[in-house]
Amino acid sequence: MIAGFKRRFRPLFILWLTVMWIMLMGELSWANVVGGFLVAAAIVLLLPLPAMPISNLSIRWGALVMLILNWLWDLAVASVKVAWLALRPQDPPKTAILNVPMRVQNDLVLSFATVLYNLQPGGSVTDIDIANRMWTVHVLDADSPDAIENEVNNVAELERNLIRVFERG
């Protein structure tokens, strides 16, 4: 029992949750500090999260900076593309549901990939087959085979960048 308590007790996480609580309440007061601390302590001690799957992960900081810059550029390009698709004087584009294989080995990196892909307009991951490492992706613009191939290539590029940043080769 005591060993489990020691393993679950994370003072920095409790502090971070307390700060988030105060920000959520929008006012710095003793009541919010104490209430936030009690809520944070209850969350950490009574609702323990599983250990993060971080084995075989190492961060390559230069590659991470490049990933962020590339992702921001892709975000801008995708936003302009989706805005054009919405504003152009034509019928809406055909959409598609694609199965895209993923090569990432770590579940945490797979979740990072999913979040990064879903935050960009133009497509979204609708299902993840973890056992087979397969995404089901809804693509907004699938008017041509080239557009579909381009989207599959975008997923593959995101995957390569995440592997370069996080996974040991």
How would you write 76-122 as a 3-class SS string?
HHHHHHHHHHHHCCCCCCCCEEEEEECCCCCHHHHHHHHHHHHCCCC
Residues 110 and 161 both lie in one domain: yes
Q: What is the mean pLDDT of residues 54-71?
A: 88
Residue 50 backbone zone (phi > 0: left; psi -120 to 50: alpha; other: beta)? beta
Are both 21 and 69 inside the same structural domain? no
Average pLDDT over residues 107-121: 92
Q: Do 126 and 86 have their domain in common?
A: yes
The residues with which 124 forms a beta bridge, in sequence order, are 138
Return the amino acid letter for 114: T
Cα within 13 Å of Cα(142), Cβ side: 13
The Cα–Cα gap between 109 and 130 comes to: 12
138 - beta bridge partners? Answer: 97, 124
Measure the CA–CA gap between 98 and 125, rounded to whole angstroms.
9
Closest to 79 measured CA to CA, from 136, 138, 125, 140: 140
* Contact (Cβ atoms closer than 8 angstroms) between residue 129 and residue 136: yes
- If asked whether residues 6 and 40 sit together in one domain, one would say yes
Per the domain annotation, does 140 fall within a domain? yes
Indicate the number of domains in the chain.
2
Q: What is the pLDDT of residues 88-109, one digit of tens each?
A: 898 888 999 999 999 998 888 9
**Same domain, residue pair 74 and 150:** yes
Are residue 86 and residue 24 in the same domain, yes or no?
no
Classify strands 96-101 and 134-139 as parallel, antiparallel or unpaired.
antiparallel
According to the model, what pLDDT value does residue 169 have? 58
- Which residue range forms the structural domain that includes residue 131? 61-166
pLDDT confidence of residue 6: 66
Q: 55 in a domain, yes or no?
A: no
Question: Which pLDDT does position 55 carry in this prediction?
Answer: 67
Question: Does residue 56 sit within a domain?
Answer: no
Beta strands in the chain (DSSP E): 96-101, 123-129, 134-139
1-58 per-position pLDDT tens digit:
555 666 677 788 889 999 999 999 999 999 999 999 999 999 888 887 776 666 667 8
Asked if residue 36 and residue 84 are part of one domain, the reply reads no
Shared-domain flag, residues 83 and 155 = yes
Residue 52 lies in a domain: no
Query: Is the same domain home to 74 and 40?
Result: no
Query: What is the predicted pLDDT for the residue at 106?
Result: 85
- 136 and 65 belong to one structural domain: yes
What count of Cα atoms within 13 Å lies in the side-chain half-sphere of residue 30? 0
Cβ contact 133:103 at 8 Å: yes
